[in-house]
Structure 1
Amino acid sequence: MQKKVGAVLLAAAALALTFTGQAQAETNPSCPSGVTQIGATKYLKHGSTTMASVKQFKGCNKNWGYVYVWDSWRANHRTYRLYAGVQVRGAEFPSGYNSVENKQELWSYGTDTLDKCTKGYGSIVSSSYSDGVETEERC
């Protein structure tokens, strides 16, 4: 009985770490030495449906915006455009702006903004939806 309780507690601890730890960066093809997420993940939603995750990363002496489309939304939406960028405080438009059609993930171009206050930016545009979100500001 004691071994069973210990195994259950160990499994619960592993599960808790899975949901409470900071998200690990996906592989950034433009930064082979790796990136680190800064700030919390924001979610792009349509009503109660989560469409995508939006994050900001730092690495290779740059900031990066990132968008990841959730499988559940993508399964029913095959034609859309993603946008990713880094919003700099006081700037009218995101920096490092990048876009792609019908892909699951998108990295912005790297921006030389580590010394500025920035937010990750991501959006989805489809025939039935168009909206975007920014992550929290990091200085």
Structure 2
Amino acid sequence: MRFVSVAAVAAFALAGLSSGVAHAESAPGCGPVTQIGSTAYIGWEAGAQWASVKQFKGCGKNWAYVYVWDSYHNLGHDYRVSAGVLTSSGTKGYKKGGNRQQEVWSSGTDTLDVCTQAQGHLYDNPEYAHFATTSKRC
């Protein structure tokens, strides 16, 4: 019986690792953060879900986060992603990752006192970027 329990736990863990869903827990230089607002999905306009875009708060800042799902990443072609926090006065904390970098965090922004949204872009063609924006949080 013990062997079955260990095997079941291992199978569950492997399924979670290969799901392609982001498992963000801490922003760079901040530590634990809390997701605010809804998750948005890059690729929805093409009937797919290639990446997740989320907004977090923590350490007195807002953060945008983009995670490219394994199902897209494992196709093997070149791409880049970027993340930024949108405010009424423009994009803050914008960061663009390197080629095939699967996750990107924006810089932390001092925007907790204004309405914000996270926006992520996936550039798979130099002339076009797919994007998604989370719900607005005030």
Please tell me the TM-score bracket, short chain as reference.
Answer: 0.7 to 0.9
Pairing partner for 2:91 from 88, 94, 117: 94
Partner residue, 1:79: 78
Q: Secondary structure at the match of 2:114?
A: coil
Structure 2: runs of 5+ lacking an equivalent: 1-21
Partner residue, 1:8: none
The equivalences for 1:1-139 within 5 A come to: 25-32=24-31, 34-45=32-43, 47-88=46-87, 90-91=88-89, 93-101=90-98, 102-127=100-125, 130-139=129-138
Distance 1:125 1:68 in 2: 13
RMSD: 2.0
| TM-fit CA distance, 1:29 | 2.2
Q: Would the aligned equivalents of 1:24 and 1:36 in 2 still touch at CA under 8 Å?
A: no
Q: What is the letter of the counterpart of residue 94 of structure 1? A: T
- The C-alpha deviation readout for 1:31-77, integer Å capped at 9, x for no partner, is 12x10000110111151221100000000000000000000011114
Give me the TM-score of the superposition, normalised by structure 2: 0.76
Q: Would the aligned equivalents of 1:25 and 1:36 in 2 still touch at CA under 8 Å?
A: no
Distance 2:76 2:96 in 1: 17
Q: What is the letter of the counterpart of residue 80 of structure 2? A: R
Distance 1:95 1:75 in 2: 30
Identity of aligned residues (%): 48
Distance 2:119 2:29 in 1: 18
Q: Secondary structure at the match of 2:108?
A: coil
Structure 1: runs of 5+ lacking an equivalent: 1-22
Q: Secondary structure at the match of 1:72?
A: helix
Q: Secondary structure at the match of 2:94?
A: strand
